[in-house]
Amino acid sequence: MDFSDMKRYVDDRPQDGVFRVHRDVFSDQALFELEQRHIFERTWCFLGLESQIARTRDFLTNWIGRTPILVTRNDDGAIVGLINVCRHKAVLLRHEEAGNAGVHICPYHGWSFDANGHNVHVKNTRTACYPAAFDAESHDLLRLPRTASYRGFIFGSLSAEVPELGDFLGDMRFFIDLIADQGPQGIELVPGRAVYTYNANWKLQLDNGVDPYHLTSTHASFLDVQAVRRKGEGNVESRSFDWRKRDEFPAGAMNFRNGHSAVWMRQPEPEKRPIAPAMDEIRARVGEQRAEWMLNARNLQIFPNMQIADAISPMLRTFRPLAVDRTEMRAWCLAPIGEPRALRAWRLRQYEDFFNPGGMATPDDTVIYEDAQRGMAASPLDFLQGYSRGLGAAVSGGGEAGAALGLDPATSVEGRYDMFNEVAFHGPYREWARLMEAGLSGRRAWA
Ligand code: FES
Ligand SMILES: [Fe+2]
């Protein structure tokens, strides 16, 4: 197949009021392979939080596309990004998602590496008759070409050519700050996480994370349960929101450069947010405007592999494409470090209700993804029509909200919440097409 023209896949013509994505983007095996190479292996990917590796010799593992990654904190306290693969025969070095170890011992032949990835032991060297050429080679773990963090969020890149992390995130940093600043000592992942897979393409989750349009239809049963609880029945501890109050409230979306986007909404019930009792402290620390935006609902897409949803209590999810039609998700609850017990319980009740695979919303979404994947196989279908809501009101730049916040997104839209805009999908697919085009034509992806 000829992949040279990405317009065949992302039909992006704002001047004509057109933004469409072709079903092949979700279902074509060859495109999936190209995505691994030209997207996941050529941009920054989220790896974890610094608070997960707070002590020296702590480590966490993750993946960039198909590449296993080991992130450690060395004895100097520095964060080190490594390829989690033994140099001897490519066996995965660490299986655990996190832990603490001064030495990482390969389970196959016992080669060992320290927290810097330096090879500290090759088993049975005395009797090995290794040639001089072998001794001259480094046996250290391969370093991730780039590792950096922003406000405690660690990212890595398999390409050395990426821009500085701060430039890559751009004005998306404002929205990350609104998460990182929720506690005076920063934020952490609540211990425990959910891992689950679904049989559909990773971009079904990419879209869904910034899709306000589906809530009232896909999650109707969740809304019904919440309505019952608000009458004082069932689990009243979960401080259920009245989602229908949101319809007329101001809302919008912003698309930032490099594929990041955000949807936001003014919060009609800020008193139900688990940070509400801490707002005096937060206002004093971050100022009135940022504090108000912390109470607003915000769902973030950090392209390509991380989302933060902060519309109920905040959750962080990462996705790992396993195959064109199979994706692994990991999801955590985010919370301020040192949060009082009662507020942590409030947060967890809201989180588990909606987000966990055993909650009342995530299973709805994953079933829909799998149905969509089946639908993508319908050969007469070409372009999907799910990218146009709000496009008629979209503008270049940041609009009123962007001006008020001093942000400069590439495009944005504002209106009532029940516009249920689909504009926040545009940034990610523009970046998808840009990176694919650059990779396929052999051009550098970054200036
Ligand atoms: S594969 Fe690691 S020691 Fe042999
Ligand atoms: Fe959903």
Centroid of ligand 1 to alpha carbon of 226 (angstroms): 53
- 232 confidence band (pLDDT: 50, 70, 90): confident
User: Which residue CA neighbors atom 3 of ligand 1 most closely?
Assistant: 109
Same domain for 125 and 220, yes or no, is no
**Distances in Å between the alpha carbon of 122 and those of 87, 88, 112?**
11, 9, 7
d(CA 22, CA 89): 40
Average pLDDT over residues 254-260: 98
Q: Which pLDDT tens digit goes with each residue over 54-70? A: 999 999 999 999 999 99
Same domain for 72 and 185, yes or no, is no
Mean pLDDT of the chain: 95
User: Which residue CA neighbors atom 4 of ligand 1 most closely?
Assistant: 109
Q: What is the DSSP letter of 85?
A: B
89 lines ligand 1 (CB under 6 A): yes
93 lines ligand 1 (CB under 6 A): no
Residue 2 belongs to a domain: no
Among candidate residues 148, 179, 195, the one where a domain is terminated:
148
Spatial CB neighbours of 106, under 8 Å, sequence gap ≥ 6: 86, 88, 91, 93, 112, 113
Quote helix, strand, coil % in the chain, to nearest 5: 35, 25, 35
Average pLDDT over residues 387-398: 97
pTM of the prediction?
Answer: 0.96
Same domain for 65 and 190, yes or no, is no
Same domain for 76 and 224, yes or no, is no
- 1 confidence band (pLDDT: 50, 70, 90): low
Q: Which residue has the tokens 């992302």?
A: 10
Q: Which pLDDT tens digit goes with each residue over 315-357? A: 999 999 999 999 999 999 999 999 999 999 999 999 998 988 8
Count of domains forming the chain: 2
155 neighbors 147 (Cβ within 8 angstroms): yes
User: Which residue CA neighbors atom 1 of ligand 1 most closely?
Assistant: 89
Q: Could you tell me whether strands 79-83 and 10-13 are parallel, antiparallel, or unpaired per DSSP bridges?
A: unpaired
Same domain for 85 and 208, yes or no, is no
23 neighbors 124 (Cβ within 8 angstroms): no
Same domain for 284 and 359, yes or no, is yes
Is the pLDDT score of 4 beyond 90?
no
Q: Is residue 120 classed exposed, middle or buried when 0-12, 13-18 and 19+ CB atoms within 10 A define those classes?
A: middle
β-bridge partners, 79: 73
Q: Which pLDDT tens digit goes with each residue over 109-135? A: 999 999 999 999 999 999 999 999 999
CATH code where residue 129 lies: 2.102.10.10
Ligand 1 nearest-atom number relative to CA 123: 3
Residue 155 belongs to a domain: no
Q: 14 preceded by cis ω (within 30°)?
A: no
d(CA 184, CA 446): 36
Same domain for 192 and 88, yes or no, is no
Structure tokens at 281: 């402290």
Q: What is the pLDDT of residue 234?
A: 78
Residue 244 belongs to a domain: yes
86 lines ligand 1 (CB under 6 A): yes
Centroid of ligand 2 to alpha carbon of 123 (angstroms): 51
CATH code where residue 296 lies: 3.90.380.10
Q: Could you tell me whether strands 103-105 and 112-114 are parallel, antiparallel, or unpaired per DSSP bridges?
A: antiparallel
Among candidate residues 85, 116, 148, the one where a domain is terminated:
148
Picking from 129-133, 223-227, 256-260, which range would have the lowest pLDDT averaged per residue?
A: 223-227
174 lines ligand 1 (CB under 6 A): no
Same domain for 252 and 309, yes or no, is yes
- What's the maximum distance between 2 C-alpha atoms anywhere in the chain? 78
Q: What is the DSSP letter of 92?
A: B
d(CA 255, CA 263): 9
Same domain for 282 and 333, yes or no, is yes
Centroid of ligand 1 to alpha carbon of 94 (angstroms): 12
Is the pLDDT score of 235 beyond 80?
no
Q: Which pLDDT tens digit goes with each residue over 157-168? A: 999 999 999 999
Residue 154 belongs to a domain: no
Q: Domain range holding 107?
A: 45-148
Same domain for 297 and 226, yes or no, is yes
Residue 217 belongs to a domain: yes
d(CA 84, CA 90): 9
Same domain for 174 and 134, yes or no, is no
Residue 227 belongs to a domain: yes
111 lines ligand 1 (CB under 6 A): yes
Residue 23 belongs to a domain: no
Residue 39 belongs to a domain: no
Helices (H), 356-398: 362-376
Q: What is the pLDDT of residue 231?
A: 86
Q: Which residue has the tokens 């989690």?
A: 84
β-bridge partners, 297: 265
Question: For the chain, give me the number of helices (H) and strands (E)?
Answer: 14, 23
**Distances in Å between the alpha carbon of 357 and those of 156, 218, 265, 344, 368?**
27, 15, 25, 20, 14
Same domain for 341 and 412, yes or no, is yes
Q: Which pLDDT tens digit goes with each residue over 167-219? A: 999 999 999 999 999 999 999 999 999 999 999 999 999 999 999 999 999 99
Q: In the chain, what percentage of residues exceed pLDDT 90?
A: 90
Structure tokens at 121: 């032991």
Q: What is the CA radius of gyration of the chain?
A: 23
319 neighbors 329 (Cβ within 8 angstroms): yes
Ligand 1 nearest-atom number relative to CA 89: 1
